Structure 1
Amino acid sequence: MERCTIIKAQQLRNFESLSKMALDRVLETSESLFVSKGAIVFKENQLLNKLYCIKEGACKFSTFDNLGREHILRFLGKGDIMGKRSIISNKGANVTATALTETVLCCFDKSEIQYNLKTNTDFCNDLLHAFIEDANAVDKTRIIYCANKGIKQRLAQLLLYLAEKFGQDPNGKLMIRLKREDMASVLGTSQEYIINLLTHFKNKGFLNVNRSEIVLNSKEGLRELI
């Protein structure tokens, strides 16, 4: 088992509130895990014995209805933490986490994290701030899931959010490649409609599309749609 040697967990201030001895113990009981694109990290209702931090790559949180249809709730990237609620509640995960890209995770032992939460007030406060950050992220992306907005407006907002969350290269290409079916799941529409809208945005000069790659040419044009 390969251990994590450096902690890059932005949501928990990189564990800076822990003493060197406590941090060394967390690293000694950690595991570095590679997850292939499309693989499930954990399933809804699964009991977790790890706290997961995304070192490289991206994941999505989803739930599935009685018909087996996926509903994507959130996208997560480098530095984001997964499994926080299970650490606190000792209940199963309330979402399914799936790798959107090849992803490297730092996995921290649950009992070790719980011990530090009980003995270190600052670390406990860091976790509380992580929950607040999650709530703020939900508020920030609320328009994407708002049924009162049209699909065109929400797709524009989704593309802008992906650019902000995961970044772009110098040519404007989104650093994350999101499948059309994932976009459709987020927006509650069909994959075909997403393809048609992306073509419409391309014809307007807002973006270019090359298979799974999207290059944003005009963020201003997308913002004007919202």
Structure 2
Amino acid sequence: MKEIKQGCNLNNCFLCKHCLKDWVPAIGIHKKNFELKKGQQLFKEGDTVTGIYFVFLGKVKVHKRWDDEKELITRFAQPGDIIGHLGLGNDPVYPVSATAIEQSMVCYIDLPFFESTLNVNPQLTYSLMKFFANELQESDKRMRNLVHMPVKERIALALLTLKKQFGINPAGAIAIELSRQDLSSFAAVSYETLFKVINEFLLNGFIEVTGKSFRLINEKALSEMALNL
């Protein structure tokens, strides 16, 4: 990835929104901005933790190895989101990988400065604690879904989750362009299964697909399928 001078405006990311205003100039001095091309990796699973990243522009997928040939996308990060926080535990390695799914820009804070920031910003520490708690709850729900939900329902839920997170674009499609491979990784199903279910959804008039864009036509039917098991 390429370091650039322009970048974070010191207003919108998780760090800047929750720290003391008097601390923002210190962030401006210590931060670094990096540009990522589509498909470029920010860090990979097993890398030594050196710092924390905040998305300023673009979208980044956070993913883990499922087996030798598959991956599981645990979440998508968008502008304002924090990435790399799962490496803050006693084992100083990233347990996940992060890859840009479109041209993106991230702000980087090294670990010593981030720890200093937490020590002098109690509101940031509290906000981060709540963020961890919410992420843990979502992780628990996701694991239950993987165990108990049939594949068709998981795909419906994945589409609904993406719409809830990203909203829709002017054309009415979910405001994230996603390959079917990435969608299958997010729904935790095989590509072949996703292909069959997406075709079924198309035939039933539940969705429309244009390239990598997905539009939910019958959201009620998808919701009943995913949420009323």
TM range (shorter): 0.7 to 0.9
The amino acid of 2:115's aligned partner reads: Q
Q: Which residue of 2 aligns with 1:64?
A: 65
The amino acid of 2:9's aligned partner reads: T
Q: Which residue of 2 aligns with 1:159?
A: 159
List gaps (5 residues or longer) in structure 1. Answer: none
Q: Which residue of 2 aligns with 1:8?
A: 12
- Between Structure 1 and Structure 2, how many residues are aligned? 222
The amino acid of 1:18's aligned partner reads: L
2: CA distance between counterparts of 1:139 and 1:177? Answer: 26
Q: Which residue of 1 aligns with 2:205?
A: 205
CA RMSD of aligned residues (A): 2.2
CA 1:7–1:50 in 2, change beyond 3 Å: closer, same or farther?
farther
1: CA distance between counterparts of 2:195 and 2:67? Answer: 27
Q: Which residue of 1 aligns with 2:184?
A: 184
User: Contact 2:18 / 2:127 at 8 angstroms: preserved in 1?
Assistant: no
CA 1:123–1:224 in 2, change beyond 3 Å: closer, same or farther?
closer
CA 1:222–1:66 in 2, change beyond 3 Å: closer, same or farther?
closer
TM-score for the superposition, normalised by structure 1: 0.87
2: CA distance between counterparts of 1:57 and 1:16? Answer: 21
TM-superposed deviation, 1:81: 0.4
Which range moves more in the overlay, 133-142 or 215-224? 133-142
CA 1:162–1:52 in 2, change beyond 3 Å: closer, same or farther?
same
TM-superposed deviation, 1:66: 5.5
Q: Which residue of 2 aligns with 1:55?
A: 56
TM-superposed deviation, 1:196: 2.0
Percent identity over the alignment is 25
2: CA distance between counterparts of 1:53 and 1:63? Answer: 19
- SS of 2:19 mapped into structure 1: coil
TM-superposed deviation, 1:72: 2.2
User: Contact 1:15 / 1:23 at 8 angstroms: preserved in 2?
Assistant: no
- SS of 1:108 mapped into structure 2: strand
Q: Which residue of 1 aligns with 2:118?
A: 117
The amino acid of 2:29's aligned partner reads: E
2: CA distance between counterparts of 1:58 and 1:31? Answer: 18
2: CA distance between counterparts of 1:69 and 1:40? Answer: 17
Map 1:207-222 → 2, pairs under 5 A: 207-222=207-222
TM-superposed deviation, 1:212: 1.3
List gaps (5 residues or longer) in structure 2. Answer: none
